[in-house]
A and B are shown apart, each in its own frame.
Chain A
Amino acid sequence: MIVRSYGWRKAKSLVMIALVVACVGVALVPLVSILAYVTVRGATALNFAFLTQLPKPVGETGGGMANAIVGTLILLGLACCVSLPIGIFSGVHLAEYGKGWFSKLVRFITDVLTGVPSITVGIFVYTVIVLPMRSFSAIAGGIALGIIMVPTVTKTTEEMLRMVPRSLREGAWALGVPRWRTIVSVVIPTAAGGIVTGILLAVARVAGETAPLLFTALGNRFWHSGLGQPIAALPLQVFAYAISPYDDWQAQAWAGAFVLTAMILIVSIVVRIVARGRHITTR
C-alpha cells in the first residue's frame, strides 16, 4: 500500500485548475486576435465610398461593395421567404401535434439537416435549380440560404410554442375557439417574441455563409438586375478579394469582413439583450 500524500493531491488539484484556466486563455487568444484584426484593418479600409459605390475594375483604386451589401440583404430576404413558412409550420406541427413516430423522424431529420455541410446544400441547389434554369441566380442563392435556415427556425418555433402555458390554450378552447384559431391567434402571438428572436439569430448566422453561394448566387460586380440573374453577396466578395493578389482589393476584403462581422455581431447581441429583458431564453 502506498499512501498518496495530501500535499501531492492538493498540488495536483491546483495545477490542474491552473491548466483549466489557461485553456480559457488559449481559447480566447485567437478569437480576440481575429476580432482585433478585423476591427483595426477593416475600420481603416472602410470609407463612405465602400458603402455606396460599385467595385472598380482591376487597376483602378477606390470603389466599394455597395452592390454586395444590397445583394446580401436581398438574398437574406429570399432565404426568409423559403425558410419561414417551412420552419414555422413544421415547428407548429412538432409543438402542437408532434407525438407519433413521424414527428420523431422530423425532429431527427431536422437535426441531421443542422449538421449538413453548407457546401453540399450549394451542390444540391446547383443540381436542382441552377442546371434546369441554365443560370446562376439570386433565387438559387436565396433557396440555398433558406434551406440552411430551416432547421433553426423549426427548432426555435417548436421550443417557443412549447413554452406557452397549456392554460392559455384551454382558456381559448373553453370559449369554443377552434383549435387552429387558438394556435394562430393565441399561441403564436404569445410566443412571437421568442420566435422572432430565434429567426433573427438564424438570419445573422446565414448572413455570413459563403460556400452555398459559390455556385448558386455566383457573385456579380454590378447592381442586381433581376432575381433570375447572378447576384453579389458580401461574403462572396470578401472571399474573392481576400484571395486576389491586389493590395487594394485585400484592404477592401478586410473592410468587407468588418462590415459583415459587425452586422452579424450587432444583430446577435441586440437580439440577446432584448430577449433577456423579456425573460426568454435563447441559445
Chain B
Amino acid sequence: MSGATEGVLVERLSAWYGRVQALKEVDMDVPPNRVTAVIGPSGCGKSTLIRCFNRMHETISAARVCGKVILNGVDIYSPEVDPVQIRRSVGMVFQRPNPFPTMSIFDNVAAGIKLTRFHRGSELAESVERSLRRAALWDEVKDKLKDSGVALSGGQQQRLCIARALAVDPGVLLMDEPCSALDPIASYKIEELITELRGDYTIVIVTHNMQQASRVADHTAFMLAGEDGIGKLVEFGETKQVFTNPRDKRTEDYITGRFG
C-alpha cells in the first residue's frame, strides 16, 4: 500500500509519566503524505509527543495520556480502539537502530508481516524485497539476507529498521531522532531516504538537528518546556515560515541559537 491519505490530528494532548507531566495541551494538524519535523531542546517532550501517536507512550509503566489523536477519522484513544492495531498502521523507527539480533536480515524485515499472516515463501520474499528496496537497502544486502541483522553498519541497521517498519504497510511513519546515533554520511542517506518516501507516507520526524529539519521537512513544529518543565507546542507551520519568519519570539531565539 502506498499513497496513504491520513494525517494525524492532535487535540489538547497531554501526557504524564506518573505524577510528572511531560506534555501539555498540544494541538496540531499533521498533514498527510508530507514530512513533519518536531524540533526543540532536549526534554521538551518531542519524543513523548510522537510516542503518543502510536500509543507507545503507555507501554512505560505509570504513563498516562489525555486528549485526542485522530487518525483516519478515529480517535486512537477512544475505548474501543486497540493499541496493538493502531501500531500496525503507524510505524516507528527509534533513536538507536534496534534490529532483532537473533534474526537474519530477511527475518527482521519479515517479523512484522509474520505476526499477522502465514505466507507462502515467494509472497513473503516479494514483500521483504519491496520493503528493502523502498528503504534503499536492497542492493547492499541482497546477497546476504541470511546474515544476522546486527552484522550491518549502524546506518544500514537503521535503514533495516525502516524497512522493517515499512513492511507492514503503515500509513504513518514516526521517526524518533533516527540519525542521532549515526555518522554524517549515514545520516545523509537516511535524509535522502526520507525525501524519497515523502508523498507515500505521512512522516513525523523528531530531531534535535535544525539543519536536518530544514532540509527534509515540509512542516515544522517547535516545542519548548516551560518554566514548570512541561513541554508545550510553541509554533507549528510550514518549515520555510518557521525558520525564516517565526511568529513566536521563543522560536526565533531558538533558531538563531540565542537559546538552549
Contacts and interface: CB of A to CB of B under 8 A. Distances in A.
Please determine if A and B sit in direct contact within the complex, based on CB atoms under 8 angstroms apart. yes
B85 interface: yes
B128 to A, nearest CB: 14
B123 interface: yes
Interface of A: 1-4, 6, 9-10
A2 B120 CA distance: 9
A4 B117 contact: yes
B115 A4 contact: yes
21 contacts: A1-B117, A1-B118, A1-B119, A1-B120, A1-B123, A2-B117, A2-B118, A3-B116, A3-B117, A4-B115, A4-B116, A4-B117, A4-B118, A6-B82, A6-B84, A6-B85, A6-B116, A9-B115, A9-B116, A10-B82, A10-B84
**Candidate in A1, A2, A9 with the most chain B CB atoms within 10 angstroms:** A1
Interface of B: 82, 84-85, 115-120, 123
Contacts of A2: 117-118
Contacts of A6: 82, 84-85, 116
A164 B139 CA distance: 52
A4 B114 CA distance: 9
Contacts of B119: 1
A142 B120 CA distance: 67
A2 to B, nearest CB: 4
Contacts of B85: 6
Nearest to B123: A1
A4 B85 CA distance: 13
A9 to B, nearest CB: 7
Contacts of B123: 1
A144 B117 CA distance: 60
Closest 9 CB pairs of A and B: A2-B118, A4-B116, A1-B117, A3-B117, A1-B119, A1-B123, A4-B117, A6-B85, A3-B116
A1 B119 CA distance: 5
A1 B120 CA distance: 6
A10 B115 CA distance: 11
Contacts of A9: 115-116
A3 B123 CA distance: 13
A147 B172 CA distance: 63
A3 B82 CA distance: 18
A123 to B, nearest CB: 42
Contacts of A4: 115-118
